[in-house]
Structure 1
Amino acid sequence: MNRPQFVFRPNLRDPAQRRAWQLLQGQPAGERSAYLAACILKASDQAAAQKELRAMLREELGKIQVTAAPAEPKPKKAVPKSTLDFFSALQEDAPE
């Protein structure tokens, strides 16, 4: 029985493929196939976990109703006594 073969010919102009090639070259020659298999399985597991998490979040967020909180009225500032005194003085001096 012949083993299936896989040929990886990275495009070294592509930064992602160049980085993948560098990582693969960092593995011992006898362990590269196991490394590739582990990477593929990990990526597949992550994709499945992301899909499941998105579905769960979509379901939970669908149960939530978001409403805007009523705006709180601005507190009224007290008019300083000096300002009131100023206006009172203007009224006293005004002719009727």
Structure 2
Amino acid sequence: MGTVKRPVFSFRPNMDHADHRQAWDILSRVPEGQKNQYLVKAILEVQERDYLERVIRETVREELKSGGMPRSEAPVTETIPDQMLDFLSNLESSG
């Protein structure tokens, strides 16, 4: 059997973009010989995070629709920090 040719990927950050500079700074600190594994891990973690975000978003939506979340006697804003309410609102509106 012949050898399988490995795909090649070239990362050419545009240093005019802040996010590209930040990504390059992070990647340049990864030791030589570990960059491929670092990129593989980063890509898979993004996929997993996206999946978990979708599951959480759907779960929150279903709970809100069914009224299954218990109501407290105090106003919601007193029991749930504003940051959490903003996060939940963003989940609902971006899905």
**What TM-score, normalized to structure 1?**
0.65
Match of 2:35 among 29, 32, 55: 32
Q: CA deviation at 1:63?
A: 1.0
Letter in 2 for 1:50: E
Gaps of 5+ in 2: 69-95
Q: Distance in 1 between matches of 2:64 and 2:25?
A: 42
Q: Distance in 1 between matches of 2:44 and 2:17?
A: 23
1:63-78 matches, within 5 Å, as: 63-64=66-67
Q: CA deviation at 1:64?
A: 1.6
Match of 1:41 among 44, 48, 54: 44
Larger gyration radius, structure 1 or structure 2: 1
Letter in 1 for 2:40: A
The DSSP-based 3-state class of the residue aligned with 1:49 is: helix
Q: Does 1:5 align with 2:45?
A: no
Give % identity.
Answer: 34
Letter in 2 for 1:58: R
Aligned-pair Cα RMSD in Å: 1.2
Deviation above 4 Å: which 4+ runs of structure 1? none
How many residue pairs match? The answer is 65
Q: Distance in 2 between matches of 1:6 and 1:26?
A: 19
Match of 2:23 among 4, 7, 20: 20
Letter in 2 for 1:20: A
Which structure's relative contact order is higher, taking Cα pairs within 8 Å and 6+ residues apart? 2
